[in-house]
Amino acid sequence: MFRRMSIIIVSVFVAILMIYSTANSRRTSIYIDEADLATYDPIDTTLGDYYVLDFQAPQNITANELEFAFLELIVDASAIEKNGYLNGTPLLEVYALKSEFAGELDPDQFELQAMPMVRNVVLGEDRRVVIDITEVVRSYIVNPAKNHGLIFGSLTGSRDGIFDIQRNKFEQAGVAKISFFIRE
């Protein structure tokens, strides 16, 4: 009972903090077009397509001014059956790349110093997925040479799924949106 109340209190506190901090922020969004999103076929039947996304953080902000950055996608999510088990909420994984993408899936290319960004996605069509990429964007603002883009999909075999990015779901025929909340 105490643990449940503690979780509720902490959740309410975090929600209030996020609402307050974004209320004192201005929001800038960029829309990712088809040219900045590369789709790669799976390396075997246990994985779905994966994607590499190139983007530039706004140049008129500092890492300290950035409060939040969110990647938003619309996906069709389906699961891959393994040993008779079908996962109802496959895991979409997002990693920063250490270097320019070499064209083949290699976990050694994933930047693991920052916390991996993951989101469970319920099976179905047109699922809106929002992933916090704040720390990666901050590192790109501090050192733009580190920006080699993001790789995402079902990448490590953890709760496998297939994610098909839906095109033209955002303004300007975008395939994704990145929103930056900047302290005023």
Residue 180 CB burial class (10 angstroms; 0-12, 13-18, ≥19): buried
Which carries the bigger pLDDT value, residue 144 or residue 80? 144
Helix (H, G, I), strand (E, B) or coil at 135: helix
- Mean pLDDT to the nearest integer, 75-99: 86
Nearest to 53 by CA among 128, 136, 123: 136
Bridging pattern class, strands 117-120 and 124-132: unpaired
Nearest to 69 by CA among 184, 160, 183, 180: 180
Task: List the chain domain ranges.
Answer: 28-183
Whether the per-residue pLDDT at 161 is higher than 90: the answer is: no
Band of residue 10 on the pLDDT scale cut at 50, 70, 90: low
DSSP annotation of 138 reads H
Range of lowest pLDDT (78-82, 90-94, 175-179): 78-82
Q: What is the pTM of this model?
A: 0.80
* Contact of 101 with 155, CB cutoff 8 Å: no
Task: Give me the residues paired with residue 72 across strands.
Answer: 130, 177
